Amino acid sequence: MGVVFTSTIKVDDAGKWFIEIEDATDSDDIRKEVCFDLDEYETKIEEMGSDYGGHIDEVRWLKDENVPPFVVDEIRVKMAEQRAKIEEKLGEPITPVTDKKLT
């Protein structure tokens, strides 16, 4: 069975977003963490992944019904910025790239 985490974007009563990470790989020991920014998210998902040797097969993204589209857009932009910084530091892409030379 693969290691699959669920990340759910939520909004609190004050309108501030946060992300809840759930690891239900072991149904007898479901683990949840709450992150209030993407730096905290990165740290916690790495910590949770370390339980599996750093290997996470998939992160499923969800959002609560009350999350406005602009919040999802804000998180997407911030994640893209972080990905670009990581890729620049590593000197290679961290996400799969499709070969455009399909014959």
41 Cβ partners below 8 Å, 6+ apart? 7, 19, 21, 35
- Characterize the bridge pairing of strands 31-35 and 17-23: antiparallel
Report the distance separating Cα 97 and Cα 93, nearest Å.
8
| Residue 16: closest CA among 83, 99, 74 | 74
pLDDT at 83: 87
Return averaged pLDDT per consecutive 10 residues of the chain, 103 residues in all: 92 96 91 96 94 91 97 94 87 70 55
pLDDT at 30: 92
